Structure 1
Amino acid sequence: MLHSLYEFWTSAAGNTPLEWVAVLTGFACVWLAARESIWNFPVAIISCALFIVVYYRAQLYSDSMLQVFFILMGVYGWYEWLYGGARKSALVVTRTRRWEWVAVVLGIAAFTLGFGYYLQHHTDAALPHWDSFTTAGSMGAQYLLTRKRLENWLIWIVVDIIYVPILWYKDLYAVSGLYAVYLVLAVYGYVEWRRAARLAASPVPLTSA
């Protein structure tokens, strides 16, 4: 009994120092994104590079490859937040356009079915379709985040709810806990960005001469 408790505690504390560094930098980048800080992108790039190794070791191959996408989107988002607005100005928070919703939903469905089938029949991946769905959802959410679309946080909420039990099942207890924190941060980010979107959409009050 004591031995089992010891094994659980050491696993819950993080399987490796690499996992803990990935967890801490992952928390930092999501917190910075919720605060609309441009520094979320360089921190995210470092975190994703570490998670490539963490997920690969856990046989979550789709999520491992997803980190490469995140790194590329991190570079793209860094530029977009600085110069992606009108006349190369900084982006402001806006609502997701209808065509973007259609593209994101269809993309998530196609990736989940297609890549899930591949993982199931050609690899030893654990939970291939759930793995593919969380990967596709993360890709869609990350694209919307790089464009500062408010609803990116709604997709993150769904993805994080699914990630928590998957990562726990794979004995990545520290990372599972991180995604539980991500869930809270996603709700916080949605509230903060909704306030920012309202401010950006409101007319600038005229000042007296």
Structure 2
Amino acid sequence: MHTAQELADFTVPLLADYVTVDLTEAVRLGEEPLERLGPMGGRLPKFRRAGMASIHPGTPESLWPRGEVVYVPPASPFIRVLSSGKSVLQPVLETAPGTWLDDDPARAAKIRELGMHSLMVVPVHARGALLGVAVFVRTDTPAPFDEADLLFAEELVARAALSLDNARRYTRERATALALQHSLLPRSVSGGAAADVVARYLPADAEGGEGGVGRYVHGQPYR
């Protein structure tokens, strides 16, 4: 979440007026991917908003706050990016009737209200996994996105994707280490009638939570 937010913050207003980073739940943070994302085969993936930034205070463009599940229409550019693994560039954002926005009236209303006129959707790739999409939008900046902007966005996203995947792997490994530590504790302890006794794992590395030994911590004797 922190890395995704940093990507959004860095690119506004450097590249775009509004940016979101949405991570697919098919590759959960802290876990190995259950499957590689390729052709969708009719399956609609879920996204979770991990980062967003805007030139407007309060990010009025976003329909969802950070951490919330994001609705994605099946015919949207976001699904096209997940299906192909390739970026989508729309120098002029398609908003006319008959487009994917017909199935997403809330998003269409935001686009018209805030004058969103140019769009880039870039896949977040890392080590063979597709983690999500980064969306770049221009509202107040009159110039549309071009191929040079897309190349720049793809380079930024590629660098951020490695950090996102490292964070995901670290979270998974840390969760595994904690589970192992807890398994080393005794199932039950007893101090008889004289004291309460509990078990606790004290890591050798207090900051990283790694290594260490099991200890018994004795409570106050009963009076």
TM-score by length of 1: 0.33
TM-score by length of 2: 0.32
Structure with a larger share of its residues in helix:
1
Q: Which structure carries more relative contact order (alpha carbon 8 Å, separation 6+)?
A: 1
Higher CA-based Rg? 2
